[in-house]
Amino acid sequence: MSGTSLDGVDAAMIRTDGVSVFEFGPSRYRPYSDAEREVIRAAFGKLSGPEVEAAGEVVETAHAELLDQFDGADVIGFHGQTLTHLPDKAFTLQTGNGGLLAKVLETTVVWDFRTADMELGGHGAPLAPFYHFALARHIGATEPLAFLNLGGVGNLTWLDPMAEAPETQGACLAFDTGPANALIDDLVLQRLGQRYDTDGQLAGAGTVAEDVLCKMMAVGYFSKMPPKSLDRNDFSNWSGLVQHLSDADAAATLAAGTAAAVARGLEHCPSAPKRLLVTGGGRKNPALMAAVAKLATCPVLPVEEVGLDGDMLEAQAFAYLAVRVLRKRPTSAPGTTGVAAPVGGGQISRP
């Protein structure tokens, strides 16, 4: 998995039949260099052209280098790098050629997970919810709970682990809540030359500008009924709203906006979750976690509290989905992406 935060590539091995998770295997991380990151960043929002081709080469090379360190995989789930996601126009672009990886790594690769969903009217995102359902079963949950991924964009999965299957009506509801780390990352990069707000120190030292926060939340997306999804740049206007603030106050206000977006998202849940399990890099930002906990109506916990790996959960999810594709099981449903009916996405490339 290579997310919109552009930190690097995560790879994780699991053993699964596409329904249950039996074992967690090794995992590794390969960071992008600053130069690689800039090549990918230059392709954000593009539909085609030399920037997209250059980004594809970076993504393919990084994945191949990392995946070559694993032995014994039967199949690889390759998400690619999202450059553009326009669900209202039924268009999404994840650069990276799974067929090329299958040839180089001599292993079956499942990729292009989103297209089939979007062709049936879905948003093509988020795609981790079916894995969240499997994990809820894995940790023995019996009451409704929610997973919150604080990556570049925030997304929420509410689920009932007692439902028959993740595609069963009422089993899962998932959607993007709003910005998460992306705008804070952009802020500290532009102002301080840093990749992210380490340990939330900047946001923790600032004061929220309440007038700016009100402007941030005055958009129709938050009241729009899910399923719904976002592109990384959909809330880029927030950066302009905090432009006049100090570094710390701007970071604190962006963090407060992320938390307020999560709170608005929780209002859409069919019932109040008993706990909110947080994954993604944002769980390591104490200021952001405190802001979410202040507004949530249930305990807010990093997924490590239930024995899971928040750094590798999304990578594990695409390994899980790859097996579901091989076994012709659905990977999304009306409640997770708004697709017309449960559908299994993904191209299969064999070496």
Domain of residue 42: give its range. Answer: 8-122+312-349
Other CB atoms within 10 Å distance of the CB of residue 233:
18
Helices within 194-246 (DSSP H only): 201-205, 210-217, 237-241
pLDDT band at 20 (very low <50, low <70, confident <90, very high): very high
Q: Does residue 277 sit in the same domain as residue 239?
A: yes
Mean pLDDT of 100-123: 96
Instruction: Say if residue 312's pLDDT is above 90.
Output: yes
The reported pLDDT for the residue numbered 101 is 98
pLDDT at 86 (0 to 100): 87
Q: How many domains, in total, are found in the chain?
A: 2
CATH number at residue 152: 3.30.420.40
116 occurs within a structural domain: yes
Can you spell out the DSSP letters for 131-173? HHHHHHHHTT--S-EEEEEESSEEEEEEE-TTSS-TTSTTSEE
Terminal C-alpha separation, the chain: 21
- How many CA atoms lie within 13 Å of 79's alpha carbon, on the beta-carbon side? 24
Residues 108 and 86 in one domain: yes
Task: Indicate the average pLDDT of the chain.
Answer: 96
Asked whether residue 118 falls in the same domain as residue 146, the answer is: no
Separation of alpha carbons 95 and 89, rounded Å:
18
Domain annotation covers residue 95: yes
In a domain, 159, yes or no: yes
Give dist(CA 341, CA 31) in Å, integer.
37
In a domain, 260, yes or no: yes
The pLDDT of 262-287, averaged and rounded, is 97
16 and 165 within one domain: no
- Per-residue pLDDT, 320: 98
Quick one: average pLDDT of 94-119? Answer: 96
- Residue 127 lies inside a defined structural domain of this protein: no
Residues 270 and 145 occupy one common structural domain: yes
Looking at the structure, do residues 282 and 196 belong to the same domain, yes or no? yes
Residue 180 has pLDDT above 90, yes or no: yes
pLDDT at position 152 is: 87
| DSSP β-ladder status, 276-279 and 300-302 | parallel
Q: How confident is the model at residue 163 (pLDDT cuts 50, 70, 90)?
A: very high
Helix axes 247-266, 286-295, angle to 10 degrees: 40
Query: What is the distance between the alpha carbons of residues 49 and 54, in angstroms, rounded to a whole number?
Result: 9
Q: Are 30 and 176 in contact (CB under 8 A)?
A: no
Residues 148 and 116 in one domain: no
> Is the predicted pLDDT of residue 5 greater than 80, yes or no?
no
pLDDT per residue as tens digits for the range 182-238: 999 999 999 999 989 999 999 999 999 999 999 999 999 999 999 888 877 889 999
For the stretch 134-161, pLDDT in tens is 999 999 999 999 999 998 899 999 999 9
Same-domain pairing of 102 and 172:
no
Residues 62 and 206 in one domain: no
Each residue of 73-87: pLDDT tens digit?
A: 999 999 999 999 888
Nearest to 291 by CA among 152, 150, 195: 150
- Least confident range from 15-24, 88-97, 292-301, 308-317: namely 88-97
Band of residue 40 on the pLDDT scale cut at 50, 70, 90: very high
pLDDT at 145: 98
Distance (Å, whole) CA 314 – CA 26? 14
172 within 8 A of 157, measured Cβ to Cβ: yes
Q: In this structure, are residues 243 and 253 in contact, taking their beta carbons and an 8 Å threshold?
A: no
pLDDT tens string 288-304 = 999 999 999 999 999 99
Question: What's residue 203's pLDDT?
Answer: 97
Residue 167, pLDDT score: 97
On whether both 195 and 225 belong to a single domain, the answer is yes
* pLDDT of the residue at 232: 78
Domain assignment present for 283? yes
Domain presence at residue 290: yes
Token couple for 265:
């998202």
The answer to whether residues 191 and 184 touch, using CB atoms and an 8 Å cutoff, is no
Q: Per the omega criterion (within 30 degrees of 0), is the bond before 31 cis?
A: no
If pLDDT is split at 50, 70 and 90, which confidence band does 98 have? very high
pLDDT of residue 254: 98
Domain assignment of residue 181, yes or no = yes
- Whether residue 293 is found in the same domain as residue 331: no
- Considering the domain architecture, whether residues 217 and 345 belong to the same structural domain is answered as no
